[in-house]
Amino acid sequence: MALLAALQLADYFAAGDEFGVVLMALPVFVVISLLAFIVANAAARTPVAFNVTAACLALLAFAPLAVPAFIKTATDRATNPFTIAMESTAVALEFIVPALAAVLVQWGLVRRRWLQLRGEDELSLWPWIATVIAGLVILNPLSLEIIGSAIAYRPTDWLRDMVRSLALGGVAALLALVLLETYIRGRILRRRLAQPG
């Protein structure tokens, strides 16, 4: 899944040879996060251990921003003349977004399995359905183009206000879906916890 997200972003940013660095770094990060969750699974006494592990790994996903050598190694390989001055942003997003997606999926699966093995309720407040829908909606060429047009400033772009309104409307709809699913999950969880054991 992380690789598919990275490929979608690379396609949007018209990545060239610099994407090779991301393709080498992303599997390394996924393996590191998997090992971290294996250790957390062995040592966990409560599900909070998985939350802490996921938070630490999410911070680690932003390492390319803190390590300029990673970005520089990738941008030195850039071959697309139309993406000059955008390579560093593109490389960072091509790594960070898939890395965060990988951590999210691993967190959910490991936490769920740990709770199931102990006979506990594995339902969480995390809006999984909304997350999948948001991923499918955002990480496709049309949506990436809309988001890019809404963010970029071009003096000759007279459709920018309309595109920005469309992007903000989409974000508002996704947030409403997240809040609705979280509310429904919260009610289900409270009902389950209220039932006698």
pLDDT tens digits for range 41-97? 999 999 899 999 999 999 999 987 777 776 676 666 656 554 444 567 777 888 889
Residue 8: half-sphere exposure toward Cβ, Cα within 13 Å? 18
Structure tokens, 33: 């996060």
Checking if the pLDDT of 34 tops 50, the result is yes
Is pTM beyond 0.85 here? no
Report residue 75: phi and psi, to 5°. Answer: -70, -25
**Please, what is the Cα angle at 125 between 123 and 131, to 5 degrees?**
105
CA atoms within 13 A on the CB side of 11: 13
* pLDDT tens readout for residues 119-173: 887 788 888 899 999 988 888 888 888 887 777 766 666 777 788 888 889 999 9
Residue 34: count of CB within 10 angstroms of its CB: 15
